[in-house]
Structure 1
Amino acid sequence: MKIKKIPSSEITPEHIYIDRRHFIKNLGLILGSTALSAFANKSFAALHTLPSFAQAKEREKEKLSSLKDITSYNNYYEFGTSKSDPYDYAEKLNIDPWSISIEGSVTKPLKLDLDELIKEMPLEERIYRLRCVEGWSMVIPWVGIPLHALLKKVSPNGNAKYVEFVSLKRPSEMIGQKDDMLDWPYTEGLRLDEAMHPLTILAVGLYGKVLPKQNGAPIRLVVPWKYGFKSIKAITKIRLVEKMPISTWMKANPKEYGFYANVNPKVDHPRWSQTTERRVGESLLTPRLKTQMFNGYQEEVAHLYQGMDLNRYF
């Protein structure tokens, strides 16, 4: 994998990094919770001391999506089906306290609160593209924990073949869960080798800021070569299992949503083409971009699927 260190001023608006002491103040502008101050100081203190750095695949020609677009245009059905619903309703979600358990086919199961997780795991900033099946994409500077570092800590045993992720179920605050359109809680899965790939991260921030609630706070999955519906948000549990998990969208509509969800422009969604995409925030008059195989990460991940029929295993 080609890794390039990029000065923070080249990937993020300079004012975000001018004074790290104002991190919590800036965070409040995004999250706006009445309990934010105590929560931020308690659960995200480690992010306040982050150095300004980035490790990213070379993407000098790609403009970063704006913070406004990233935080106001989302798929997050726990809060509704409209792209604006997460921004409008996610603030109701209480994420303090928060813990995450790692269990199943492991020799050292763990349950960590978020503060422990951030203190014990390495944090990196990476620029990744997010591609959704509806034909839109973003380029986002994430702050995250390499998933392989966490999985190595729990020591998967010989029965572990897949990793299942489970999100929060709380209909009183996640108002979209009052609708039975999906089987809650949201679940997702990866093959173990996909989960251990160095590109796979658990994101806890973006654009130098703590992850906003509408983007999956406090912790979400990011797998940059797969479609966005694999990016499960508000994770509470990670299980290592022997059999392939049946994820939420597979269960809801297996003809349209397969387990792998690799970005493959040669395989159309039954209701639309996947060959092109449009960056969120761009004018409708802007020419659409050609969708790249594996979302542009073919060099790094194609070997994981050698010999597989990617039309069948979609």
Structure 2
Amino acid sequence: LARTERKSGRGYHGFVVDADPSVTLEEDLQRRDFTINAIARDEDSGALVDPYGGVRDIERRVLRHIGPAFGEDPLRVLRAARFMARLAPLGFSVAPETLALMRAMAASGELDTLVPERVWQELRRSLASAQPSAFLRTLHDADALRSVLPELEALYGVPQRADYHPEIDTGLHQELVSDMAARLAPGDALIGFAALTHDLGKALTPQAEWPRHVMHEQRGVAPLRALCERLKLPQEHRQLAEIACREHLNVHRLAELRDRTVHELLQRCDGFRKPERIAQLALVCEADKRGRLGSEDADYPQGRALQRLHAAALTVNARDLAAQGLSGPQIGEALAKARIAAIAVARSKTAN
């Protein structure tokens, strides 16, 4: 049944929906967000019903809002950004007048009415899209990112060392990393979120220390936890993101770590109870390393090495130690010692 909507209050819940047989198809299509999804087909003639120029905008690769009613629902700002995460790889851009309206909506404070769960829903779907950076860039350009995801907005304009990050701007780095994560793990928002948030601590580096970011992996934990709590993220997303935030530099310099330190890293990642964590961390760290200008196709041997050493440590069986008559703390100590030895053997084989 065709419907219309009337604004009745603040926020995206502030609408009255009227469903009535007298509502025309054109009136129903007017409820849609964008011209490109306000197209119908006549059942009898097969002709397209396109009252708002959606076909023309598809041909021109333009995402355009239908009319002023777009500005009544703040959720449409997030949907526009999420659409761009899907459509940017096809060459789409946001119409200037749509972007201007989105900026006006952000300035009005309407975005403050969005519940965190809806923000996460749109972010999650964008991270599972082909080009998540378009979600971030669209919201940033609309001055809306600071309202819905201020931890991410804070990274724009923060410089990094050019010898490590030719893109320099940390905001651009988070865009590149997000797209690389989507390339390495298509459709996986778990990997995408951890990759997106691994560098939040750089926004907290004192300006006097720029472009260096010493201890940013530790500084990033507090804003990450605040973000996860506000958006009410699932536990597995929170846990992997925090592991990536804390440990990505250790993975990058894995070859410099002692065998015992590698074992401690695997333990901190809960890699023996949840073995999948290590492969996930390796992917996130690879996205970080390759999410830099000029490094898109670079090799990342650290990721393979981490998984190889983890696999070696997993061959040690606690039951075998118990069968030797060990118990309690003795098993834990012997298990750690045996795993460290297995890591050392795996490394020696690679060296030879």
User: TM-score of the superposition, structure 1-length normalised?
Assistant: 0.27
Q: Which structure carries more relative contact order (alpha carbon 8 Å, separation 6+)?
A: 1
| Larger Cα-atom Rg | 2
Name the structure where strand makes up a greater proportion of residues.
1
Name the structure where helix makes up a greater proportion of residues.
2
